[in-house]
Amino acid sequence: MSSAPQKLKQLMTATKDLLIEIGTEELPPKALPELSDAFTRAVVAGLEAAALECGQAHSFATPRRLAVLVSAVPQAQPDRNVERKGPSLKAAYDADGNPTRAAEGFARSCGVAVAELEQQETDKGTWLVYRTTERGQPVSQLVPLMVEQALASLPIPKRMRWGDCDEEFVRPVHWAVIMHGETVIETPVLGVVSSGRTRGHRFHANRDIELQQAGDYAARLKNDGCVIADFDERRRLIHDQVINAAGQHGGVAMVDDELLTEVTALNEWPVAVVGEFESDYLSVPAEALIKTMQDNQKYFPVVDGDGKLMNVFITISNIDSTSPDTVKAGNERVIRPRLADAKFFWEQDRKQPLESHAEALNQVVFQEKLGTLGDKTRRVTMLAQIIAEQLGANVEFAKRAAALSKCDLMTAMVGEFASLQGIMGKRYAEVGGEAEEVALALDEQYMPRGGSDRTPATATGQILAISDKLDTLVGIFAIGQKPTGEKDPYALRRAALGILRTIIERELDLDLRALLAESARLFPDDVDAVAAVDAVFEFMLERLRAYYADRNIPVDVFDAVYALRPSRPLDFSKRIQAVSAFRLLPEAESLSAANKRVGNILKKTEADTAAVVNAGLFEVQEEENLYNELEALKRKTEPQFEAGDYETALCELSVLRKPIDDFFDNVMVMTDSDRIRNNRIALLNKMHRLFMRAADLSRLH
């Protein structure tokens, strides 16, 4: 017969899969992926906190369940050696060798007699200690609390109650499964008791499915329950079905990632269904039809080989119907009123020119302290003119685009589909006879709409996008509502990055600080926007830090350029490229160290660092060599620095390595002679200024 320690060892070495499933009413589809990830992370964290070394964790998520399967979970925790330090020996016993109250109290807290305590000698004396081995608990006793804590930690903004129970969750809970291998762990979970019974598809297999062991979960649900529990597997299946269905109808499906994820969260047994609508609706701008299909109906639009929208859509049904034509007809019937609305809005909006909505902008508040959309439009128009003049662009195009920029917000179509702002402005401008570049700019003003979106392609679009975002940034900062922590209600971080990306990626030679000052002057006197310019400028430079971090630019390279605060983003970018190239040179490390050393000397000296170097005061050849090399390099690199060719100029400076090393090896800078010392400091400052033309190279490491 095995001894108790042997049994415990067997428990620890024997591992089995752990399954936890929470069955619910339909979960919110947009929140499902986040809930699933958070649930899995919380379960894994609970296992780690219990010192249980496990295998991989696999998430499962469908509209009616959150689940996680963790492989190779031990049946019990390992034993743990516990040591508690008590009072010193001097404090533990009195002069007669009897235990003091301190010793007795410590022993009592440990649950033993004083005589059972051990002694430990240290450098600071001898102490009483309590040592014991804490037996590991079985998983069956640990998991219930883990599940409770995991569910309580989920990111649920608003929990609900159901029936007459006190439990709260994102949706009512109907069943729970907790199994370790073939063993069911029964425990209360949000108003139900966990078991080994999951449930199948609501329509195809609306019954209990008894699991024999945890690892059977996914296969049993698929084979017996008509449920594909794996979210990623279901997503791939839907994607392939949609692509294939579109191909069979001679088209190409438009598969938006967010929509694909949402549709995956709406289905447990997805089946693609192809529907059609009357071709007359194709007279409406494709963007409006696509938006109503995607947003309202969760359909996938289909385009032909030329990218033109077809009168075909694909929807995903949660059942494999015995009457697919009925499902098809039902979806076609539902979409017609939506398309009819879009057509009506389009026809009504076209009855009047886009600019006719300009007056209505004066009645719509942009921000209480910053005025109406009409006020904003007038500021943006003036700023767009300034930028267009600086860039040598078409000023009339810029002014016209700015004047029309917010008019589509007053149309019926954008009133119904807010995300079409700009897009519909472009369409209404096109049919209204506006210049093509003006029409394109109305859409491009919102670019980039996200991190992966492109920046505006037209000059007018670039000018309008920059002007509109600058006005928002300066205005919101001026009224004291800059972003704090995670809160950024006006999306100022995105706006700042959009401006910077547009200037850098479209190679616009614009002075950001000067533009911020121009924008600030356009606000009324009761808005102290001028005082906000510096804060906005620093905020935008910090956005550059994130921009370059995403492009794997080392932090020290960014800091070297950032130290000089260049105000032209395009110039900033050129300096970043130059320092990145310089950093790869063999001489870079030595020159960076020398520059740092020189900087420290200049900070501590009281000498006039701006003094002119007097070659007649040189005492050693190394001074003269460094001076001559600096003079030659200054003549050679000055035109390069002026032209913004920082990379070539910095690479030229690599020849200074030897004369600088020789100088520091053979020249005592802080000599007793004031004249010699000051002259040498002036020489070092001359070198320092040359290096600082591009960046503070001392920050490289």
Question: Vertex 563, ends 568 and 626: CA angle to 5°?
Answer: 105
Asked if 107 and 113 count as a contact pair (C-beta separation under 8 A), the reply is: yes
Among 35, 78, 71, 76, CA closest to 56: 71
Task: Look at domain 576-699 and name its CATH class.
Answer: mainly alpha
Does the pLDDT at position 667 exceed 90? no
Averaged pLDDT for residues 61-79: 95
Does the pLDDT at position 87 exceed 60? yes
Least confident piece of the model among 8-12, 283-287, 368-372, 594-598? 8-12
Phi, psi of 94 (to 5 degrees): -85, -175
Averaged pLDDT for residues 208-235: 97
- 3-class secondary-structure state, position 12: helix
Percent of the chain with pLDDT over 70: 97
Cis peptide before 448 (omega within 30 of 0): yes
pLDDT at 499: 97
Does the pLDDT at position 388 exceed 50? yes
pLDDT at 596: 81
pLDDT at 8: 46
Percent of the chain with pLDDT over 90: 73
- 3-class secondary-structure state, position 403: helix
> Whole-angstrom Cα distance, residue 254 to residue 601?
63
pLDDT at 607: 62
Averaged pLDDT for residues 266-278: 97
How far, CA to CA in Å, does 257 sit from each of 23, 135, 445? 26, 50, 24
Quote the DSSP letter at residue 361: G
pLDDT at 1: 40
Quote the DSSP letter at residue 120: E
- Across 122-136, 360-374, 646-660, the highest mean pLDDT is recorded for 360-374
Could you state, in order of their start, the residue ranges of all structural domains in the chain?
Answer: 4-77+138-225, 80-134, 231-349, 356-552, 576-699
Averaged pLDDT for residues 402-411: 97
Averaged pLDDT for residues 552-577: 94
How far, CA to CA in Å, does 542 sit from each of 373, 442, 465, 563, 578? 29, 28, 20, 12, 20
Does the pLDDT at position 10 exceed 70? no
Q: Mean pLDDT across the chain, nearest whole number?
A: 92
Q: Which tokens is 8 given? A: 């415990």
Asked if 213 and 179 count as a contact pair (C-beta separation under 8 A), the reply is: yes
Burial annotation 414-426 (CB, 10 A radius, 16+ → b, else e):
bebbeebbbbbbb
Asked if 384 and 437 count as a contact pair (C-beta separation under 8 A), the reply is: no
Does the pLDDT at position 605 exceed 80? no
Averaged pLDDT for residues 643-669: 86
Asked if 339 and 312 count as a contact pair (C-beta separation under 8 A), the reply is: no
Domain covering 4-77+138-225 assigned CATH 1.10.8 in the classification? no
How far, CA to CA in Å, does 111 sit from each of 83, 107, 108, 122? 13, 6, 5, 24
For the CA atoms of 232, 233, 237, 243, what is the dihedral angle to 10 degrees? 40
Q: Which residues lie below 8 Å from residue 242, measured CB to CB, with a gap of 6+?
A: 253, 255, 260, 272, 300, 314, 316
pLDDT in tens, 339-351: 999 999 999 999 9
Averaged pLDDT for residues 354-370: 95
pLDDT at 3: 52
Does the pLDDT at position 600 exceed 80? no
> Whole-angstrom Cα distance, residue 681 to residue 665?
16
Comparing 390 with 678, the larger pLDDT belongs to 390
Quote the DSSP letter at residue 93: B
Averaged pLDDT for residues 484-499: 91
Among 459, 575, 576, 552, CA closest to 506: 459
Whole-prediction pTM: 0.79
CATH code assigned to 356-552:
1.10.3210
Q: How confident is the model at residue 11 (pLDDT cuts 50, 70, 90)?
A: very low
Q: Which residues lie below 8 Å from residue 149, measured CB to CB, with a gap of 6+?
A: 42, 46
Among 550, 447, 551, CA closest to 499: 447
Helices and strands (DSSP H and E) totals, the chain: 26, 18
Burial class of residue 243 (count of CB atoms within 10 Å of its CB; 0-12, 13-18, 19+):
middle
Q: How confident is the model at residue 678 (pLDDT cuts 50, 70, 90)?
A: confident
pLDDT at 597: 82
Does the pLDDT at position 177 exceed 70? yes
